Amino acid sequence: MSVARQSLMDRYRRYLPVSDATPSLTLGEGSTPLVAVPRLGKRFGVPGLHVKVEGQNPTGSFKDRGMVVAVAKALEGGARAIICASTGNTSASAAAYGAAAGLETIVVLPAGKIATGKLLQALVAGARVVAVQGNFDAALRVVRELAADERHPVTLVNSVNPFRLEGQKTAAFEVCDDLGRAPDILAIPVGNAGNISAYWNGFREYRAAGLIPDLPAMWGFQAAGAAPIVLGHPVAEPDTIATAIRIGDPASWDKAVAARDESGGRIEAVTDAEIVAAYRDLARDEGIFCEPSSAAGLAGVRKLAEAGAVPAGAIVVCVLTGNGLKDPATAESVIDAVMDAGISAAEVQEVLGW
């Protein structure tokens, strides 16, 4: 291969369940930027605020880190097809890596609840997409049943596939490699709760390897209308503008609670209004456009900083899980209108109020 940049599976090979028998596969995932955001940090009263821009992965979300490993392992095992339920980004990622690996991809989605860009990504890559009349939790039950049907061999690539979390933990490695230490606080949106669990695994493995002395506190944030872990019971009809975390019965519930408790962290809820405010402020203060769900961590840090819960001088990393371009409808709700003018400098000056 004439690719100079190291693939994710090569960069962190010694921490991943890959061997010489595992086919190499990459679309350029991982090695995403960790960006200091001082203007937003000042606004929040958190000068040590950083963001991990996972929207810069090949399909625009962190899902690619786990998908590349899950699909490579499926290939290694002789799979011909992969299947997933999705709130959108898992399907975009599965479709892309499935296409690159020459596998058939089947996606089961909650009808009408997928951001436009994500649905297009799955369809463009040639996945067969089925929309069901139910939420994500129901769609996940359906694909688990389909994957268990031996008449149609197909590999399940949701985060219940352990290779997904293995790949996703590499983001924690990158944060530590870039900071030269772990952050004091790692803030992250929580949906199916796989990613918070994967980060926690990554930090613990790095400490066990002697690469970092301390572990971060894990701060997870659910949307108020889809906050089963905060409430302590499943939510039958989860509802939030943040569709990627619109999940009422997380598959990795126990792991997320363990990450919270072992790290001395917290899992709390943020409202849609708080999410959208953080999403807009991030773009306007820092020029970084994430999808609404991704701003849940920022919204949570802002709220807890206001409550005095962020120690002075803390290094805080918020994981921005996905790219804002995926969800144009939410963006339209926070922007100013385009100003129309005739084709002369004078007319443009007029609308600018010069």
Ligand X SMILES: *Cc1c(COP(=O)(O)O)cnc(C)c1O
From the CB of 43, what's the least distance to ligand X, in Å? 22
Residue 105: both structure tokens together? 């991809």
Nearer to ligand X, 120 or 351 (CB): 120
From the CB of 18, what's the least distance to ligand X, in Å? 21
From the CB of 160, what's the least distance to ligand X, in Å? 11
CB count within 10 Å of CB 7 equals: 20
Nearer to ligand X, 195 or 240 (CB): 195
From the CB of 311, what's the least distance to ligand X, in Å? 25
Residue nearest to ligand X (CB): 322
CB count within 10 Å of CB 56 equals: 18
Nearer to ligand X, 7 or 158 (CB): 158
In what order do the strands lie in the sheet containing 128-132?
A: 128-132, 104-110, 81-85, 155-156
- Say if strands 49-53 and 34-36 run parallel, antiparallel, or are unpaired: antiparallel
From the CB of 88, what's the least distance to ligand X, in Å? 7
CA distances from 184 to 21, 122, 175, 244, 308 (A): 38, 37, 12, 26, 15
CA distances from 163 to 62, 96, 324 (A): 14, 17, 26
Nearer to ligand X, 181 or 280 (CB): 280
Residue-wise DSSP of 96-115:
HHHHHHT-EEEEEEETT-S-
Chain residues that interact with ligand X, rule: CB under 6 A = 61, 63, 89, 159, 189-195, 244-245, 291, 293-294, 321-322
Nearer to ligand X, 211 or 258 (CB): 258
Nearer to ligand X, 155 or 293 (CB): 293
From the CB of 70, what's the least distance to ligand X, in Å? 13
